[in-house]
Amino acid sequence: MSKEKDDNYWRERLTEEEFHVCRKAGTERPFTGEYWDTFEDGKYRCRCCGEILFSAESKFDAGCGWPSFDALAEEGVVDERVDTSLGMQRTEILCSNCGCHLGHVFPDGPTATGLRYCVNSLSVKHDPDDASD
């Protein structure tokens, strides 16, 4: 799937909230998303294109109110870019396959990777049937 799909393409396939977060880099309120406190086995796929981005094995409770992961499902599934919105510098994460805004990655994770991929629930879909590695 191409990153070149236009807004009309995505508006037809996503809810208004999903479109705002996934295609316009919005953010859902903390502690409100579907997956912030879900810890079932499986994979987390991009809501827009279905690419596997994270494994439930890498998910942890960061106390921030958004799903948090310490590693990607595999190298290269996420692109990073500098985000200077809101008067600060952060690292935005996007699906490398379709450009869906996922959230941000921070170097303050509590595990050995030292990373915290802070993801909007609206940007991903949990796939409990894909629990194999």
Q: Residues annotated in the binding site for Zn(2+), as ranges? A: 46, 49, 95, 98
DSSP conformation letters of 3-36: TT--HHHHHHHS-HHHHHHHHH---PPTT-STTT
Binding-site entries? 46, 49, 95, 98
Neighbours of 78 (CB within 10 A): 24
Question: Which residue among the candidates 22, 48, 100, 118 is catalytic per the annotation?
Answer: 118
Task: Work out the number of other CB atoms within 10 angstroms of the CB of residue 102.
Answer: 28
Q: Is 48 in the active site?
A: no
Sequence-distant (6+) residues with CB within 8 A of 125 are 44, 45, 46, 47, 50
| Among candidate residues 67, 18, 52, the one with its CA nearest the CA of residue 129 | 52
* Active-site amino acid positions: 118
